[in-house]
Structure 1
């Protein structure tokens, strides 16, 4: 089964259920995450840098009561490194820890995204770990990142959402 999720602010991210054979067959549902960067000279004519882009996307599927970050609270070390440099190794280590402790299920790194432009990755979910968080560094910036979070399963009626579109938010990594 394939599904889609979207995030939009400077960016639009879409999650859509999909079928895939790229190591994702152990999950209840696999979602294609599409990240659409709409930040451009036409959307920000006086504030658009010539080298605008986003780092590789990182995505984590997790329980609905788990949060990768809280607005207004200090970012984790891995999230700060992602926000400052775009490097994904540290946050993926944090994601692996969350998977090993049972809070999360699947973690993926996707492509760099030019702006305007788009990138896509797939992520697996289950009925108990059906929330997804997607993150990317905003560049050029000292420590800003874009984030989106979606819950993909309606626990009241036991149904998966076929497609979810959400607006991403931009946040200061706090360093």
Structure 2
């Protein structure tokens, strides 16, 4: 099946499942949350629009950028609103079976069952949301959702396609401060490794991690392996690979169009959109190990010459370091002269 049609088919099925799950969860009431967590005291629910924007470009991420089979793209977004006693996923914790299947294959059925079970068991899930897949590294997806005072947290996950088990997302963003709802939140997103597959590159074959590792953030130097598709040792940190903007919707259902301003609660400053579009990550040339020295060629009794070679593994990009010499020679004395 065409991968694009497959993605759209999965997205459509997830939307139907979301509607069903949302209707099941609306009647749930949250259990008491821990007293050491600031309580939301708003007397009304709030609605938000969510805009996810991919920033996965060949200029910002030139190393092994996926061009085809399949090209760089984003899976369906799966998220939920919940209370503080539930987590869809957490950094430095083990991924659930549902998160594992979604991060590795983009399959959300097990994850939805886990969310449904949590809603019935501890009554911490208020609503489920989804947004359609993006066929392209820089596309955009949108959706809307509702939060309540007892369920003021948002979590979501989006799979990086293709990848072994990599994803982006947010864990428990609180949209309530005291008795009022935040007008807007803008967060830069960075890649995470689910800890269930040991592949280093976007197109790595399935190689299960045994024993399972914890969810970790991928950085420019971690995992520290030259084969890693996100390994850029010259960078202090990776550029953001995506961005999410949450905007409170007015009661008239008109979306507030005010610009998003950085706040203390935002995880990272967003910067200027024009500047963000011009990110060029330098990619240094990478070459193979030297071959063994070749035969010594020359006349008997005189010094000869022998050669060794290496080849280019990765061509430089964006003013990265140029490739070194690919051939060397040295003097030698011929063996086995008659």
- Contact map agreement 1:80 1:173 (CA 8 A) in 2: yes
**Whole-angstrom distance in 1 between the partners of 2:46 and 2:85:** 19
**1:34 maps to 2:17:** no
Query: More relative contact order in 1 or in 2 (CA 8 Å, sep 6+)?
Result: 1
For residue 131 of structure 1, report the CA deviation from its aligned partner. 0.6
Which TM-score applies when normalising by structure 1?
0.79
| From 140, 143, 166, the counterpart of 1:121 | 143
What TM-score, normalized by structure 2, do the two folds share?
Answer: 0.42
Q: Which runs of 5+ in 2 are unaligned?
A: 1-21, 27-43, 197-338
Q: Distance in 2 between matches of 1:154 and 1:35?
A: 23
DSSP 3-state at the match of 2:117? helix
Equivalent position of 1:4 in the other structure = none
CA distance in 2 between counterparts of 1:73 and 1:29 reads 30
Greater fraction strand: 1
Q: Are 2:173 and 1:173 equivalent residues in the alignment? A: no
Question: Secondary structure of the equivalent of 1:91?
Answer: helix
In structure 1, the gaps of 5 or more residues are 1-22
Larger Rg: 2
Q: Cα offset for 1:172?
A: 1.1
Q: Distance in 1 between matches of 2:170 and 2:64?
A: 23
**Which residue pairs with 1:17 in the alignment?**
none
* 1:59-83 per-position Cα deviation (integer Å, ceiling 9, x unaligned): 1101134222221221000000000
> 1:154 maps to which residue?
177
Alignment of 1:60-75 (within 5 A): 60-75=80-95
Please point out which of 102, 106, 109 is paired with 2:130: 109
CA RMSD of aligned residues (A): 1.9
